[in-house]
Amino acid sequence: MPAPDTPAPALPGCSDCELRALCLPAGLSRHTLARLASIVAAPRPVPRGQALFRTGQPLRSLYAVRSGSFKTCLGHAPAHHQVTGFPMAGDLLGLDGIGSAHHSVDAIALAPSQVCAIPYLQLAELAHESRELQRQLHRSLSREIVRDHGVMRMLGGMRADERLAAFLLDLTRQLQARGRPAAPLVLRMTRAELGSHLGLKLETVSRSFSRLQDDGLLAVRQRRIRILDAEGLARLAGGAAA
């Protein structure tokens, strides 16, 4: 069932997507890429604040983020949101739902975004035929695990300022890896959402920002952050973890 409101559903697809080197298609041959493109739906907009999917819904597709950014949170519970991550362009959403065939988090757009739906069954079928695609899928899944381990390290062993420093460095690294401007870092999430991800209350996040600023490591202006001393941040973040 094609989206009724998009003008031209027959878009060029993955082959021309500027994200193809970072997304699932990374390293795929032209042939496989074309086949993948044939099952990927045309990019679909997700307005800010809207859920791409919710906990418990049956998993039909994985979603590649084409633009914008999201938060993924645990907990049907009203108040006890726990943000597990902030996926952005190039990330794959829904991997956690494969095991149970149902999504295990809510995915909420933090900004107007675009996603490409990839029907999971067709993807699995294609991966069955293509070693390279299979390998890519494994990589994506495995990397998600490693990423989660990083969060566990933050939550388990670091104090407030260290967590924030580690998060900012990680965010910068991710933006750089995507060849995006990381110089004036612009946060897409509120202090509360950030706090939920870091295991802190929003007041503590705010205080940590202020402290890092006072120490000359950051320049903070609302959600616009400039890193003044990356090495200092790394010393903070690494001091506890390394």
209 makes contact, choosing from DNA, a second copy, none, with CB < 5 to 8 Å by partner type, with: DNA
Is residue 95 a contact point for a second copy (CB under 8 A)?
yes
Is residue 60 a contact point for a second copy (CB under 8 A)?
no
Give the type of residue at 30.
R
Which residues in 8-47 contact a second copy (CB under 8 A)? none
C-alpha 70: how far from chain center:
6
Q: Report the distance separating Cα 114 and Cα 162, nearest Å.
A: 33
Residue 29 or 210 with smaller CB distance to DNA: 210
Q: How far is the CB of 180 from DNA (least distance, A)?
A: 21
DSSP secondary-structure letter at 96? G
Helices 120-129 & 131-157, crossing angle to 10 degrees? 120
Q: How far is the CB of 228 from a second copy (least distance, A)?
A: 27
234 makes contact, choosing from a second copy, DNA, none, with CB < 5 to 8 Å by partner type, with: none
Residue 35 or 201 with smaller CB distance to DNA: 201
Backbone φ and ψ of 217, nearest 5°: -90, -30
CB atoms within 10 A of CB 228: 14
Is residue 74 a contact point for DNA (CB under 7 A)?
no
Please give the size of the binding site for a second copy, defined by CB under 8 A.
Answer: 47
Is residue 5 a contact point for DNA (CB under 7 A)?
no
Handedness of CA 235, 236, 237, 239 (dihedral sign): positive
Q: Report the distance separating Cα 146 and Cα 138, nearest Å.
A: 12
Which residues in 121-180 contact DNA (CB under 7 A)? 159-161
Which residues in 156-215 contact a second copy (CB under 8 A)? 156-157, 196-199
Is residue 221 a contact point for a second copy (CB under 8 A)?
no
Residue 49 or 179 with smaller CB distance to DNA: 49
Is residue 84 a contact point for a second copy (CB under 8 A)?
yes
Is residue 135 a contact point for a second copy (CB under 8 A)?
yes
DSSP secondary-structure letter at 40? S
- Tell me how far CA of residue 10 lies from CA of 46, 117, 119, in angstroms: 20, 14, 17
Rg (C-alpha) for the chain, rounded Å, is 19
Segment (H or E) for 53: strand 51-53
Contacts 24+ apart (CB under 8 A), 214-223: 217/165, 218/168, 223/186, 223/187, 223/188
CB atoms within 10 A of CB 53: 21
Residue 128 or 224 with smaller CB distance to a second copy: 128
Question: Residues interacting with DNA, by CB under 7 A?
Answer: 159-161, 190-192, 195, 199-207, 209-210, 220-223
Question: Residues interacting with a second copy, by CB under 8 A?
Answer: 74-77, 80, 82, 84, 95-100, 104-105, 124-125, 127-128, 131, 134-135, 137-146, 148-149, 151-153, 155-157, 196-199, 240-242
